[in-house]
Structure 1
């Protein structure tokens, strides 16, 4: 097994809390209607296209054309985005920062819309600590597309076999493993620490 020389973190639900339902608990108090709205209107597939780079105005217009009576709630997805990302997660940002301070090569690979990523950087300065980041919406590719892993490795000079990666999505982990990365599904900070230790990295 080759030595780990590169560490890559996902952001959402690994470093940063992400709960799109959070503002809608107030906006749509009825649980059944709220579930219908999030599962049928502002779906994860719809939001993924913003992560791929589609402008919010275009995304909103598409939904409003199909659900004109839901216009205010559709626009609320973007206007209440900060409430969907209320805080950093416990421990993992500190783990990442400690690895940077210890001299490890740390980068991030994230599915994120370009504008909301800039907001996240402003709100959570720890996200500026790694050497760099590939933001899906800026490059027009999203995980788990194999091309985004190849792009990230090329941009930052990563040797896939010497790269450890943490993501909360099983599909993204499978794609990273297929690209030759040592990929670990993030579940808890304790599990992350154990995975680092198994790879010979003290955190």
Structure 2
């Protein structure tokens, strides 16, 4: 029986995408994609999610790609421009779950500790969670089992009582290996259908 629901944040409740910023910087879409695939890469960003300081991360890339220094600095210097709006359909589901009073609701997110406060100021619904575990603060991240255990242990959650919602299949599979039920998020509509099938909504 589900007692706890654990949400990922990015691409589930919050629309975050570097393209929102870099389309303002690059006139050519292919050049933008090349930059984000080969310079400010997802792997590089994940190290900040795992606790590496933004200043250190920026300096490392500037040294490696001096010809891109200005655009590298924009990644965190203009990071707020990567934030889109809330994903309203998911926020409405979250609101319904919160108002039901039936579930403990937590967030487990890969996010830099230095940028997460910006999101907290912008998205009021982040205060609705009963607890939030941020990778940059813990210096650990999904999909490592230790990061999931941080949440489970901190809030006394048994894996068999939990449901995990994430858009990333890698993270879903990690939760599954720990015995946590899951929903692979693709849209608010399919999430609502899945929760209704489980008798949660």
The residue that corresponds to 1:95 in the other structure is: 93
* SS, match of residue 62 in structure 2: helix
Correspondence 1:121 to 2:120: yes
Other-structure match for 1:145:
144
SS at match of 2:14: coil
> What SS does the corresponding residue of 2:129 show, helix, strand or coil?
coil
Match of 2:39 in 1: 41
- Please list the CA deviations of residues 42-73 of structure 1 after superposition, one character each: whole Å capped at 9, or x if unmatched: 00000000100100100001000011121110
CA distance in 2, matches of 1:36, 1:187: 25
- Which structure 2 residue ranges, 5 or more long, are not aligned? none
User: How many angstroms does 1:27 deviate by?
Assistant: 0.4
SS in 2 for 1:91: helix
Q: Deviations for 1:122-179, whole angstroms, at most 9, x for unmatched residues?
A: 0111011010110000001110011111111111111111101100000000000111
Match of 2:9 in 1: 11
- What is the distance in 1 between the residues matched to 2:118 and 2:83? 10
2: distance between equivalents of 1:97 and 1:90?
10
**1:168 equivalent in structure 2:** 167
Kindly indicate whether residue 200 of structure 2 is the aligned counterpart of residue 186 of structure 1.
no
- Partner Cα distance (1:107, 1:101) in 2: 15
Deviations 1:95-128 (A, max 9, x none): 1122112112101000000121111000111011
Normalized against structure 1, the TM-score is what? Answer: 0.96
Give the match for residue 57 of structure 2: 59
Q: CA RMSD in A?
A: 0.9
- Cα distance per residue 1:63-86 (max 9 Å; x no partner): 000111211100100122112112
Contact in 2 for aligned 1:163/1:182 (Cα 8 Å): yes
Q: Indicate if the aligned counterparts of 2:89 and 2:189 stay in contact, CA closer than 8 A.
A: no
- For normalisation by structure 2, the TM-score amounts to 0.97
Query: Structure 2: how far apart are the matches of 1:179 and 1:157?
Result: 15
Instruction: Quote the Cα distance in structure 2 between the aligned partners of 1:91 and 1:32.
Output: 31
Q: Structure 1: which 5+ runs fail to align? A: none
Aligned length: 200
| 1:198 positional shift | 2.2
Q: Distance in 1 between matches of 2:194 and 2:30?
A: 39
SS in 2 for 1:78: helix
